[in-house]
Amino acid sequence: MDFALTEQQLLLRKAVREFAEAEIRPHVREWDAAQHFPRELVPKLADLGLMGIQFPEEYGGAGMSAVDYCICIEELARVDPAVSLSVAAHNGLCAAHIFMFGTEAQKQRYVTPLAKGEQIGAWGLTEPDAGSDAGAMRTAAVKQGSCWVLNGAKTFTTHGRVGDVCVAMAVTDRGKGRHGISAFVIDRGTPGMRPGRKEDKLGMRASDTSEVIFEDCRVEEDHLLGGEGEGFIDAMKVLDAGRIGIAALAVGLAQGAFEAARDYARERRQFGQPIATFQAIRWKLADNATRIEAARLLTYRAAAMKDGGRRMTRESAIAKLFSSEIAVRAAEDGVQIFGGYGFVKDYPAEKYFRDVKLTTIGEGTSEIQRLVIARQILSG
């Protein structure tokens, strides 16, 4: 067992960190305040391979591993969790679904421009009345001749407004329950598909989150993604891997919140000394450093299993559950260490505290992770 990153992975971490510090850090507050999705950043992300991290070079990707993917997502989240969320949703949901289950023609047509950053991907599973219970979705697709006609609405779709390509799950045979749900890949501008309301969010405000509405949206047969009736099962497999990304996002966010608090604790003086000399502060820092290390190891373990081609439903749920919950504590302790300055927008602690909550909700809430883990350990 070797816990060390390779020389190449250390270089990758350094490159993404330098990029995030130079290109993202100066804009974090402005993008958050304006709820601005920084489309202008996408070509720069693409130059580093971050729009197609794990896809083979023949599809325009960077051909990196799942562990490399975690390093990239972590380093972006350390500086701006919202940008990291967008990169994770684009790579790990939309593009990954097409890459994993698409035909060769679909991969050429969609994965390549997505991986090159020429297009942005969205992925719609959640609906207003079907969140954790995604199988209860109402959006339906009906076969008419050689076309499928979609009607319904997706909610909380990352890149619902800015996406060029949307993968959407829809019921194609209501009698078959979860085995009657199929996936479709739909281009922006297809008549009948339009973005709905943009959400005004607590955190992750620079990541676009919107409704996607389907009104008699007609697509040809070759827009069916994966087998008919297999869309829900495929989506669960996409989420198994996607959760590793959210775990990495939580680790990076926790690291950013921790570093900001540590640096502040060294500088801030009360009672004639830096607050970092007080045991109450030191223990918070030590506990968070310990929890972050543990979360990182769980996340890399799940990623290494994916790289080894092993099933990691349990491990990715464990990594996501633990990392997101320790990240909430790291962000909360960060605010506490900043004191009153943690409560105002001039310092970074407040934004980490707002952004972090998404990690215990998106791609399956903590409660759902516990259900997945319990099911896995009790079925053995």
The answer to whether 368 contacts ligand FAD (rule: CB under 6 A) is yes
Amino acid in the structure at residue 251: V
The answer to whether 123 contacts ligand FAD (rule: CB under 6 A) is yes
Dihedral of CA 226/229/232/234: which sign?
negative
Q: Applying CB under 6 A, which of residues 72, 153, 247, 358 lies at the interface with ligand FAD? A: 358
Q: Which helix (H) or strand (E) holds 379?
A: helix 366-379
Closest CA to 248 of 302, 312, 286, 170: 302
The token pair at 97 is: 């679904």
* Rg for the chain, CA atoms, rounded: 21
We find the least distance from the C-beta atom of residue 301 to ligand FAD, in angstroms, to be 24
Any idea what DSSP says for residue 107? I
The answer to whether 360 contacts ligand FAD (rule: CB under 6 A) is no
We find the least distance from the C-beta atom of residue 345 to ligand FAD, in angstroms, to be 20
Which residue, 60 or 81, has its beta carbon nearer to ligand FAD?
Answer: 81
The answer to whether 131 contacts ligand FAD (rule: CB under 6 A) is yes
User: How far is the C-alpha of 139 from the C-alpha of 136, rounded, in Å?
Assistant: 9
Q: Confirm if 41 and 23 have CB atoms less than 8 A apart.
A: yes
Region near ligand FAD per CB under 6 A, out of 60-68, 154-162, 252-260, 334-342: 154-162
Q: Applying CB under 6 A, which of residues 54, 84, 106, 157 lies at the interface with ligand FAD? A: 157
The answer to whether 152 contacts ligand FAD (rule: CB under 6 A) is no
Residues composing the chain: 380
Q: Applying CB under 6 A, which of residues 125, 140, 265, 372 lies at the interface with ligand FAD? A: 125
363 catalytic, yes or no? yes
Any idea what DSSP says for residue 130? B
Bridge-based pairing state of the strands 181-187 and 165-171: antiparallel
The token pair at 201 is: 């969010």
Region near ligand FAD per CB under 6 A, out of 136-144, 201-209, 243-251, 344-352: 201-209
Catalytic residue among 199, 211, 230, 363: 363
Q: Which residues make up the interface to ligand FAD (CB under 6 A)? A: 89, 93, 123-126, 131-132, 156-158, 201, 204, 209, 358, 361-365, 367-368, 371
Question: Catalytic residues, which ones?
Answer: 363
